[in-house]
Every structure is written in C-alpha cells, then in structure tokens.
Amino acid sequence: MSILLTAKDAHSFMNLLQAEAIGKDAQIQVADTSAFVSAGEAIMQTGMENTLNSLWLLIGKIWVASRKYNGKLKIVQSKDTGVFSHRMAKISTYSRRAIASGYFNTDANTNFAPGYDNTSNSGAGTKSMWEQIPDVSETFTFGGSKVYDFGKTIYIDKIEQAFRNEAEFNAFVNACAVEFLNDIEQYKENEARALIIDRLAADIDMENDRPDSVVHCVTEFNQEFETSYTAKELQTIYAKDFYAWLASKIAITQSRLTERSVLYHWNPVKTINGVDYDLLRHTPLADQKFIMLDPFMVKMETYVLPEIFHDNLLKIGEYERVSYWQNINDPAGIKATPAVNETDSTSPNYMTQKKGDAVDKQIIGAIFDRDALLFDAQLRRTLTSPVEARKGYYTTWVHVAFNLISDATENSVVFVLD
C-alpha cells in the first residue's frame, strides 16, 4: 500500500474527522488513517547510488536523521517540502560493531610472527588495513499529497436588503468571514489530530516488534503491586495511588528515552556478511514531545502533588493537553486503522508501508521524539475569482495540500488505559 506521487483527495476523510471533533457523530467511528499517513518506504523506483546501495537518487529534499550522542555521568548533565517536492528521504545510519584487534597478538588472532605478512595469514591473523568497512545506512522515503478545497462565495448587491442598515450588514459579513477562517483553522488542527491518532494506533499495532513502546497502565500497576483492580477502580477508589504511579511511570519513561537503545522504536535490523547491525535512537528531554488527555493530567495534579510538574521534577521539551483524541463524545477512545511498516524480513515488501489492523483502545497520553511525527505543509493558497458579470458574485478558494509523516524508527511511547 505504497503512498503514490499522485495527489489523494482528502476532503471526505477530513469531513469525517470534523464530524468526530465537533460531536456530530455520537459514537466514535473507525478512522482509516492508513491511506493518509506516510509511514516510510524502503523501496522507491528511482534507483540508488551504487556504493552503499542504500541512498536513493532524485529526491526533492533530503532529511538526514543523525544526532550526536553524549555519554552519561559527566556529573549529570513543521518542515515544508513545497508543492513541487512532495517526497522526502530520511537517511538513518546504523550502529557499528567492534571488530577483532589487529594491533596486538590476542587469544583470538596471531598478528605478529616470523614469516607473517600483511594479510590474514590463512585465518590466523586479522585482515590488513585495506579492509573496507563502509557505513551501514538505510533510506526511508515519505511521500504523497493529500488535498482538499474550501470555498466562499460573496454576492454583490444581493443580501443587503435583508438588513436594516450598513452596520448590520457589515457585522454579518464579518461574522461569515470569521466562521470561514475558523473552519479552515479547525481542519488544519484535524490534520495534526489524524497524524497523532494514526501514531497511537500504529504503536499499538506494532507492539510485537517494540513492546516497550506500549505501556498498559492498569496491567502494569496490578503487576507491580500484586493487585487486580479494574480501570474504573483505579480511577475512583484507588485514584491517588494510581495517579501517583502514573506520574512516576512517565518520569521513568522520560529518563529511559534519553538512553541510546532499540527499545522504543522499530529497529529494522540489517545483516551484512553474517553480522547484524542495529538502528539505535535516543531522545533528549528537550526533544521529547508529551501529549496527554486533559482529565488525566488534572487528576494527577489534584491527587498527587502539583509540584510533580515543576521543572525540577518533570522536564518535557514540549507539552500539550488535549480534551479528546478523536471524538469529543468519547475523549479517551481511538478507533483507527493505521499506516504501519512491513516488519517481516522474509517478505518481498519488507520495510514498505502497509495497512495495519484496526485498533480500538482508550488512551491516556503519549511521549514521542520530535522527529517521529512530521506535518509537511506543502501548499495553502488562497485565490479569488473575477466577478461573474451576469449574476454578480465572486468566490474565494482556499487550496490545501499536505502530507502526514509518521516514522516508526523514531522513539515513541503510548500509555494505554486497558
């Protein structure tokens, strides 16, 4: 289910999200986000350079994923590709492995002995300094355009008669303009909402490949304290204990995300000459984005200590509360079919995008790396037609093209209310 270069009309999908957002749909609906979110492709029919065999050619814009890692305990220490370049490449470099020493004689290799030359000496020594050890990398492409239009028609000299004076007419025109802008702004919000919903569902769908990215809060609380409380009991009778545990779990997860590891993202292992290479990630606190359902945050602040969210105790790069994820009538619920990656290395479509399984969960919140989710604003252009001479009206059109990018190889953690 690759994302194609052809622009995909998104107006029906955006209208579905709008109906959920404003409460028009009384029950939460299943949002198929898989066709509207780019989860990354390792296959692209434009060819690749032939040295590392992993860097795609003919890309409009390159996005290189690399972040310097600083060792610990040193005494505690929205992109725009444009309408003409709606495909982005992201290059990730794999972690190196140590190799046998050639500088000493060791229990594994004899490198220095009479008659030995600068070769591996029939396997007794290490290879020469001319052994080639190139970088190991992988390129994922994120592409596609999702498009929709807004229109507003102004009738000249047609509706003035409905008002008593110019002031009333101007007030009506201004009100219409404000609502027009409000609609555009909310649809823009829903674009981001769709991306977040898709990532929450994708993390859950890909849990077998990265179980640490999903925290089952009720289950883990009961396991830690050897209890068997239900979600309702933990939010009522034992609320103080549960929200204290949740605050500590978030803080612990924050700290663990700063460590360079394979735990909180999809690690598409590459095997070269029998050696496995891992894709490691770490997310400094300043690069962590934290989003949480407002009722849970309020109760944590109420039942625990407000000081828990003081900068000295909880440090988040960017934080936002949300009143609901998908449907305002069911704040914690999501029902989505996400875009995921093919993780079966035996599949011919390995590391390409596919439609995941439907996810129906109650979500508390999530922490994700700044590079895990990306909103690509390709075009937002406003054009106005000439006046229609015979009927006396003109129409203003707002044209929108965007792409939603979710990179499973970047860290993220979702907190689920079982």
Q: Per residue in 77-111, pLDDT tens?
A: 265 555 545 567 777 777 777 777 787 788 888 88
Residue for token pair 């994923």: 65
DSSP SS3 for 58: coil
User: Considering only CA atoms, which of 270, 339, 312, 328 is closest in space to residue 39?
Assistant: 339
**C-alpha torsion 84→192→308→237, nearest 10:** -160
AA letter at 276: D
Q: pLDDT-derived band of residue 253, with 50, 70 and 90 as boundaries?
A: very high
Question: Which amino acid does the sequence have at 248?
Answer: S
Phi, psi of 127 (to 5 degrees): -70, 170
Element spanning 375, H or E:
strand 373-384
Give mean pLDDT, residues 223-245: 92
More confident residue, 289 or 51: 289
- Portion of the chain with pLDDT greater than 90, in percent: 18
Where in the chain are the domains?
A: 8-37+145-417
Q: What is the Cα–Cα distance from 68 to 104, expressed in whole angstroms?
A: 31
Residue with tokens 């003109």: 394
Long-range CB pairs of 342-345, under 8 A, 24+ apart, other chains included = 343/206, 343/209, 343/266, 343/268, 345/268, 345/269
147-151, 219-223, 234-238, 369-373, range with the lowest pLDDT? 147-151
Secondary structure (3-state) at 205: helix
Question: Looking at the predicted structure, is the pLDDT value of residue 212 above 90?
Answer: yes
Q: What is the pLDDT of residue 361?
A: 93
Checking if the pLDDT of 399 tops 80, the result is yes
Arithmetic mean of pLDDT, 195-207: 92
Q: What count of Cα atoms within 13 Å lies in the side-chain half-sphere of residue 302?
A: 9
Q: How far apart are CA 287 and CA 316, in angstroms?
A: 8
> Which residue, 298, 220, 258, 264, is CA-closest to 76?
258
The tokens describing 232, both together, are 């309702």
Distant-in-sequence, close-in-space partners of 74: CB < 8 Å, separation ≥ 6: none
Look at residue 280 in the predicted model and tell me its pLDDT. 87
Whether the per-residue pLDDT at 34 is higher than 90: the answer is no
pLDDT at 205: 93
pLDDT of residue 62: 43
CB atoms < 10 A from the CB of 60, how many?
Answer: 13
- Token representation of residue 336: 């989505």
Residues 406 and 142 sit within 8 Å (Cβ to Cβ): no
pLDDT at residue 2 tops 60: no
The Cβ-side half-sphere exposure at 105, using a 13 Å CA radius, reads 6
Query: What is the Cα–Cα distance from 176 to 154, expressed in whole angstroms?
Result: 10
pTM of the model: 0.77
Query: What are 382's strand-pairing partners?
Result: 398
48 has a pLDDT exceeding 70: no
Give the rounded distance of the alpha carbon of 118 from its chain centre.
50
**Quick one: pLDDT band at residue 242, thresholds 50, 70, 90?**
very high
Q: Give Cα 86 to chain centroid, integer Å.
A: 18
The pLDDT-based confidence of 71 (bands split at 50, 70, 90) is very low
Residue 334 above 80 pLDDT? yes
Position 369, amino acid: D
Neighbours of 354 (CB within 10 A): 15
What contacts 368, CB < 8 A, 6 or more positions away? 199, 288, 289, 291, 410, 411, 412, 413
Number of CB atoms found within 10 A of residue 355's CB: 16
* Torsion (CA) 16, 17, 18, 21 in degrees, nearest 10: 130
Element (H, E) at 119: none
Residue bearing the bigger pLDDT, 192 or 227: 227
Q: Quote the tokens at residue 120.
A: 């591996």
Whole-number pLDDT of residue 57: 47
Nearest-angstrom CA–CA distance, 43 and 90 = 13
Q: How large is the average pLDDT for residues 172-183?
A: 79
Copy the structure tokens of residue 321: 């509360």
Closest CA to 43 of 372, 348, 356, 405: 348
Sign of the alpha-carbon torsion through 341, 352, 409, 379? negative
Tokens standing for residue 330: 């069911």
What residue type is assigned to position 116 of the chain?
Y
Average pLDDT along the chain: 77
pLDDT in tens, 402-414: 788 888 989 999 9
The encoded tokens of residue 99 equal 């190799």
Give the list of residues 6+ apart from residue 195 with CB closer than 8 angstroms, or none.
Answer: 33, 37, 373, 375, 404, 405, 406
Structure confidence by residue, pLDDT tens digits, 277-327: 888 899 998 888 888 898 888 888 777 765 555 545 555 567 788 888 888
- Residue 51 is predicted with a pLDDT of 43
Tell me the H-state helices in 69-165.
none
Looking only at the bridges linking them, the beta strands covering 31-32 and 61-65 are unpaired
